[in-house]
Amino acid sequence: MKSKINFNGNEEQPEESAAALTALLKNYHTPEGASPTEEELVAFIDHKLDDIEEARVKSHIARDKVVYNRWISQVTHLQSLEKQSVHSRSNSLPIFHKIANFLNSTWIKSAMTAAAAGVLILVLTPGQKNIDDYYTNFPMALEEMANLGFQAKALPFGKKPTLIAAVEWGVYKRVQTVLSEEKIRESKWRFLTSSKPVPTSQVSGDMINLAVEIGEYSILQHTYCRQNTIARDEFLEATNQYTRSLITEMNRITVSEKLGISFNENSSASCKFSEEILKLL
């Protein structure tokens, strides 16, 4: 049997661990005072509470397992985000080098250039490579690509009407998460043909979702429409109904919130949809 357990990079006696864990089995009485709210726990992490409140919240964290669990979930969640953020920043230079290489050789070139100008006009590089070809030539590991996505999304959000920004976001989101044509087929088609409803424009929250969805869907459709392949026909056929639903929902958006374009519901599924949307951005 191993005589020691290494918990924190230090050699520790198992007896100590056993003693500590046994002590922690104790059922403490819940301390007095109101149980902390979610915001108070966040404020405790931020050290924004006064001394009295901090002592109260700390006491609940220490002696009420449910509160401790809530607090530790927040701590690990925020630490994880922070760690990724640091990782992302520390990798920014090599990533942008890779972006530069990538831009010189792939279809994403025009999209990234447009992003820099604040205007997105996606034009696929001529030639008949499919997305798998681009992905094969893409020099990054998957996890690096995830970082690239968030580095590259330097769009002027907030300076445009919210819905346009949301559409734009959808375009970027899809551009940067499309890993391979096969992946698109597996994920997006499944996504579209599952029970997932088209977001409804009747609810303000869903209106933004609808706009993001339109952006994502537009660039996906645009990608297929540039190809003269069976995949394109398959895609359009499979998503015909979905396109129509999106158009219907778009037409329900109130005039003041409209994206500035109207569709004939009979437009049905065609490459026109994505072309018109992308022209807006």
Stretch that binds other proteins, among 18-26, 98-106, 123-131, 240-248 (CB under 8 A): 18-26
Q: Kindly state the smallest distance separating residue 164's Cβ from other proteins, in Å.
A: 11
**96 sits near other proteins (criterion: CB under 8 A):** no
DSSP string, 148-205: HHHHH----TTSS-HHHHHHHHHHHHHHHH---HHHIIIIIIHHHHSSPPPPPTTSHH
The number of residues that bind other proteins (CB under 8 A) is 84
**86 sits near other proteins (criterion: CB under 8 A):** no
57-76 binders of other proteins (CB under 8 A): 58-59, 61-66, 68-70, 72-76
Given 118, 150, 229, 237, the residue binding other proteins (CB under 8 A): 150
Given 89, 97, 196, 252, the residue binding other proteins (CB under 8 A): 196
Token pair recorded at residue 40: 């108070």
215-274 binders of other proteins (CB under 8 A): none
Nearest by Cα to 264 from 274, 253, 279, 250: 250
Nearest by Cα to 109 from 177, 188, 175: 175
Residues 218 and 111 sit within 8 Å (Cβ to Cβ): no
Site string for other proteins, 19-58 (x = CB under 8 A): xxxxxxxxxx--------xxxxxxx-xxxxx-----x--x
Q: Which residue has the tokens 């056929």?
A: 237
Of 4 and 265, nearer to other proteins (C-beta) is 4
Of 186 and 275, nearer to other proteins (C-beta) is 186
Token pair recorded at residue 18: 């056993």
**92 sits near other proteins (criterion: CB under 8 A):** no
Given 101, 110, 130, 149, the residue binding other proteins (CB under 8 A): 149
Of 170 and 224, nearer to other proteins (C-beta) is 170
Query: HSE (CB half, 13 Å, CA atoms) of 31?
Result: 18
Given 108, 111, 167, 208, the residue binding other proteins (CB under 8 A): 208
Q: Which residues of 224-257 are buried (b: 16+ CB within 10 A; e: fewer)?
A: bbbbeeebbeebbeebeebbbbbbebbeebeeee
Q: Kindly state the smallest distance separating residue 101's Cβ from other proteins, in Å.
A: 23
